[in-house]
């Protein structure tokens, strides 16, 4: 196991020890947990010198060698960028949670176990080279995020939000799995690096488009792209540290990572270009438009996250056009959009993480997140206001903050998209800058709502749940302050990030040589700057006249929203499934047996007819004697007696007679060991039947005569005929050497003169041991139930 494997597995290892130490601690559990992401972050920093020079590190560890599945990981620029975000923001979130989560009222061991599970899954996901390992960790992020969102499980909204996130992301994960399997079949490998090396073969395959679409479904569901974005707002019911971590810096970025990682394989194709860039722009517009109408601060941030993820996705789509060209200049022209996507991904993690923490502080100190009840907090919470100012203006794309730089690059990428001339429907790309500008205006508006409404104006203490509002403790302020300082630092020294993180990540995303990009704050009075000025002017006008134009939201009734359609569809599916289940789950065992028999003979008959399997060979059969005929007639008579009698004693005896007559058949066929086994079993079961009958006094000695049903007769006959045909077909056709030839050497192999005993004890020894263990456990259960029966209770 390599050291990088150890770093990825460290969060999982920490989860093992947390249940044993949390009760013994006199301090907050977070002070111990914080060393896990901090240690990982520091060691990831040590990879920067090597990765920035264009190197990568690959390691392999056996996982399921019998299936050829190894835990193959590699560290390149893209994995390093995501790993630093995951571990760095994770460290700050843990510090923040120490002051946010009350150790006396919260189940902190559960909280940190779920958080570390998610952290480890994300670190492994972004470093995995094996697609099946990637999928396993992908679903582990869904499971751990479900646990984190439902952490306050006593709240109905938390459970509902977790369930919605799980349903949508797991659905996308299954689609992605199908796409990855198709991709691995085409390339004849599970390695992503080998797939990239064989990209020519993949693109020539007829399964290229199905694989592309299925993988994008997985990416879109995880990164909350339209129309799968409905799960993200409901996931805000999680504690604020969870929202700051999962929904701004990590989980929602998993879909972004997948698209970036798959760009060398699918980039350059028209389908990938239009789907990724188009869905991204629709998501950007949808999220920014919906964010403006929110009255809950976390809901506003949720829709803003959706819009920002759409922005990054659209840049990845436009930048994928770089792989269409082999010409260096044209390739560099569009690779700039990919560079901008990676830059904004980093920036978004900084300012959005800080803003989530600010909202958590407001909620923690005032008791509410309702914008309509807040106001005037700037004088009481100046430090929190300063962080909110930095984060909001950075998200709005104003200087001197890092969001301004990446937003200008976003405009540049959308303007360059209009020059794409290698795909059909090129005229549609002329809409890209328009959509980008309009969405940026709405982004500006919701950023100012987030900044102005809670902090400016007058404070009305009577509208706040908490009586005394004060600034947050310094420990809760330190993490957002660090992120806020990073927002400003990146604006003034952007090329430190560009040189050591972004350019290596771009090289890993393209898998092609492109010149290193430099980030410049001032580009002159170009189109991008005029677009920014227009955003500010129109954004301010619309912000100050917001009450006059928000009537447009009434044009889109909530009943027609995607979320309402999802909820109504889920409710209708539940009703239909309950109705369908009630039809066949009648509580009648006869009905269940009827279903089983119908399905069984239908499948067998269809298989036999479909594969031309109905043919018989009686040449090797032995002669039928008068004794055989007599025994069969007696067995049939005993079976009909069991079926037709109205007396329970007679039914039990006749059923036993069927078994004893079978013993006679075994004797005739010279199988004394089977005859002895059958006789012992039959004697025991008949005795048990009679014993149970004796202890059931409430049941009459006569059986209620059942009504004749033609359906039961037909099914019975068909089952009998099917089993007879299958038996004749099987005995008449031997595809393999009979296994009895092996067991005939039981004495030489096992030293046993009884072949049945040899099979049970030697050849199938483990099976027999497990069967005995099951019977032993069942016996203990029965004994326990008898002993737990209340004294004097004879009704059970």
Instruction: Give tens-digit pLDDT for 224-243.
Output: 898 898 899 888 888 889 98
Strand partners, 702: 647
Statement to judge: residues 651 and 753 lie in one domain: no
Q: Given this model, what pLDDT does residue 92 score?
A: 94
Q: How far apart are CA 625 and CA 622, in angstroms?
A: 9
Asked if residue 145 is part of any domain, the answer here is no
With contact defined as beta carbons under 8 Å apart, do 60 and 72 qualify? yes
Statement to judge: residues 742 and 760 lie in one domain: no
Q: CB neighbours of 574 closer than 8 A, spacing ≥ 6?
A: none
Asked if residue 411 is part of any domain, the answer here is yes
Residue pLDDT, tens place only, 341-374: 999 999 999 999 999 999 999 998 888 888 988 8
Asked if residue 783 is part of any domain, the answer here is yes
Tell me which residues of the chain have a pLDDT lower than 50.
699, 701, 795-796
Q: Given this model, what pLDDT does residue 795 score?
A: 47
Asked if residue 51 is part of any domain, the answer here is no
Statement to judge: residues 725 and 760 lie in one domain: no
Asked if residue 345 is part of any domain, the answer here is yes
> pTM of this prediction?
0.79
Statement to judge: residues 188 and 284 lie in one domain: yes
Q: How far apart are CA 519 and CA 523, in angstroms?
A: 10
Q: What are phi and psi of 420, to 5 degrees?
A: -65, 125
Q: CB neighbours of 632 closer than 8 A, spacing ≥ 6?
A: none
Statement to judge: residues 756 and 742 lie in one domain: no
Q: How far apart are CA 138 and CA 149, in angstroms?
A: 17
**With b meaning 16 or more CB within 10 Å and e meaning fewer, what string describes 530-568?**
ebbeebeebbeebbeeeeeeeeeeeeeeeeeeeeeebee
Statement to judge: residues 528 and 484 lie in one domain: yes
User: Closest by alpha carbon to 439, among 226, 647, 718, 660?
Assistant: 226
With contact defined as beta carbons under 8 Å apart, do 137 and 128 qualify? yes
Statement to judge: residues 785 and 710 lie in one domain: no
Vertex 756: Cα angle to 754 and 760 (nearest 5): 120
> Within a 13 Å sphere around the CA of 504, how many CA atoms are in the beta-carbon half?
23
Strand partners, 191: 130
Q: Given this model, what pLDDT does residue 796 score?
A: 44
Strand partners, 69: 64
Give how far Cα 448 sits from Cα of 364, 368, 393, 542, Å.
Answer: 22, 19, 8, 11
Asked if residue 78 is part of any domain, the answer here is no
Strand partners, 128: 73
Strand partners, 790: none
Q: How far apart are CA 119 and CA 84, in angstroms?
A: 12
Statement to judge: residues 282 and 198 lie in one domain: yes
Boundaries of domain holding 676 = 588-748
With contact defined as beta carbons under 8 Å apart, do 229 and 286 qualify? yes
Asked if residue 496 is part of any domain, the answer here is yes
**With b meaning 16 or more CB within 10 Å and e meaning fewer, what string describes 585-594?**
eeeeeeeeeb
Statement to judge: residues 758 and 711 lie in one domain: no
Give how far Cα 86 sits from Cα of 45, 93, 127, 712, 791, Å.
Answer: 12, 10, 12, 62, 59
Statement to judge: residues 315 and 370 lie in one domain: yes
Statement to judge: residues 450 and 535 lie in one domain: yes
Asked if residue 626 is part of any domain, the answer here is yes
How big, in percent rounded to 5, are the helix, strand and coil portions of the chain? 75, 0, 25
Tell me how many domains the chain contains: 3
User: In this structure, how many other beta carbons lie within 10 angstroms of the beta carbon of residue 227?
Assistant: 15
Statement to judge: residues 441 and 494 lie in one domain: yes
């Amino acid at each position: 196991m390599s050291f990088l494997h150890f770093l990825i597995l460290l969060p999982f290892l920490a989860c093992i020890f947390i249940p044993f130490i949390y009760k013994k601690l006199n301090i907050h559990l977070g002070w111990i947990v914080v060393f896990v992401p901090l240690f990982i972050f520091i060691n990831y920093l040590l990879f920067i010198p090597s990765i920035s020079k264009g190197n990568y590190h690959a390691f392999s560890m056996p996982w399921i060698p019998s299936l050829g599945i190894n835990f193959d990981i590699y560290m390149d620029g893209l994995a390093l960028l995501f790993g630093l975000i995951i571990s760095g923001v994770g460290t700050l979130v843990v510090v923040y949670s120490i002051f946010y989560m009350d150790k006396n009222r919260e189940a902190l061991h559960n909280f940190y176990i779920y958080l570390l599970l998610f952290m480890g899954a994300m670190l492994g996901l972004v470093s995995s080279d094996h697609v099946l390992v990637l999928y396993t960790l992908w679903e582990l992020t869904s499971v751990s995020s479900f646990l984190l969102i439902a952490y306050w499980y006593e709240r109905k909204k938390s459970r509902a939000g977790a369930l919605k996130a799980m349903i949508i992301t797991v659905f996308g994960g299954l689609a992605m799995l199908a796409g990855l399997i198709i991709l691995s079949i085409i390339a004849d490998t599970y390695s992503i690096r080998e797939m990239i090396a064989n990209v020519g073969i993949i693109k020539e395959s007829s399964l290229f488009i199905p694989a592309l679409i299925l993988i994008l479904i997985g990416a879109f569901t995880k990164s909350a792209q339209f129309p799968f974005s409905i799960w993200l707002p409901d996931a805000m019911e999680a504690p604020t540290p969870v929202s700051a971590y999962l929904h701004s810096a990590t989980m929602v970025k998993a879909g972004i990572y997948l698209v970036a990682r798959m760009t060398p394989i699918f980039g350059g194709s028209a389908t990938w270009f239009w789907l990724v860039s188009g869905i991204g722009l629709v998501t950007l517009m949808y999220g920014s438009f919906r964010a403006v109408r929110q009255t809950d601060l976390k809901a506003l941030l949720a829709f803003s996250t959706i819009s920002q993820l759409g922005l990054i996705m659209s840049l990845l789509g436009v930048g994928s056009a770089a792989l269409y060209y082999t010409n260096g200049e044209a390739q560099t022209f569009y690779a700039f959009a990919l560079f901008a996507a990676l830059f904004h991904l980093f920036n978004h993690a900084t300012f959005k993480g800080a803003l989530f923490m600010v909202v958590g502080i407001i909620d923690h100190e005032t008791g509410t997140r309702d914008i309509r009840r807040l106001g005037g907090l700037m004088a009481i919470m100046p430090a929190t206001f300063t962080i909110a100012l930095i984060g909001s203006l950075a998200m709005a794309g104003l200087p001197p903050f890092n969001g301004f730089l990446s937003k200008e690059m976003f405009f540049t990428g959308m303007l360059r998209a209009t020059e794409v001339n290698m795909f059909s429907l090129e005229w549609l790309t002329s809409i890209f800058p328009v959509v980008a500008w309009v969405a940026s205006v709405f982004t500006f508006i919701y950023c100012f709502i987030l900044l102005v409404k809670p902090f400016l104006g007058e404070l009305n203490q009577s509208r706040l749940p908490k009586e005394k509002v004060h600034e947050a403790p310094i420990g809760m302020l330190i993490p957002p302050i660090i992120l806020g300082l990073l927002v400003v630092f990146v604006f003034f020294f952007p090329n430190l990030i560009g040189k050591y993180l972004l350019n290596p990540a771009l090289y890993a995303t393209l898998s092609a040589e492109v010149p290193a990009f430099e980030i410049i704050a001032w580009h002159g009075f170009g189109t991008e700057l005029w677009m920014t000025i227009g955003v500010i002017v129109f954004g301010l006008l619309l912000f100050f006249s917001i009450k006059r134009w928000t009537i447009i939201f009434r044009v889109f009734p909530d009943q027609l929203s995607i979320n309402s359609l999802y909820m109504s569809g889920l409710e209708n599916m539940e009703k239909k499934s309950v109705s369908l289940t009630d039809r066949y789950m009648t509580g009648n065992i006869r009905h269940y047996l009827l279903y089983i028999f119908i399905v069984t003979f239908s499948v067998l008959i269809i298989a036999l007819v479909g594969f031309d399997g109905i043919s018989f060979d009686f040449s090797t059969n032995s002669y039928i004697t008068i004794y055989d005929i007599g025994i069969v007639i007696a067995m049939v008579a005993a079976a009909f007696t069991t079926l037709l009698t109205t007396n329970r004693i007679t039914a039990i005896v006749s059923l036993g007679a069927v078994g004893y007559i079978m013993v006679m058949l075994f004797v005739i066929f010279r199988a004394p060991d089977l005859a002895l086994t059958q006789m012992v079993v039959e004697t025991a079961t008949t005795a048990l039947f009679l014993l149970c009958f004796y202890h059931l006094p409430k049941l009459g000695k006569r059986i209620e005569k059942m009504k004749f049903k033609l359906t039961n007769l037909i099914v019975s006959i068909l089952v009998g005929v099917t089993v007879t045909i299958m038996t004749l077909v099987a005995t008449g056709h031997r595809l393999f050497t009979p296994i009895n030839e092996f067991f005939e050497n039981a004495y030489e192999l096992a030293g046993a003169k009884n072949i049945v005993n040899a099979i049970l004890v030697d050849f199938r020894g483990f099976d027999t041991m497990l069967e005995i263990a099951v019977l032993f456990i069942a016996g203990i259960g029965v004994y326990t139930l008898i002993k737990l029966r209340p004294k004097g209770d004879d009704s059970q």
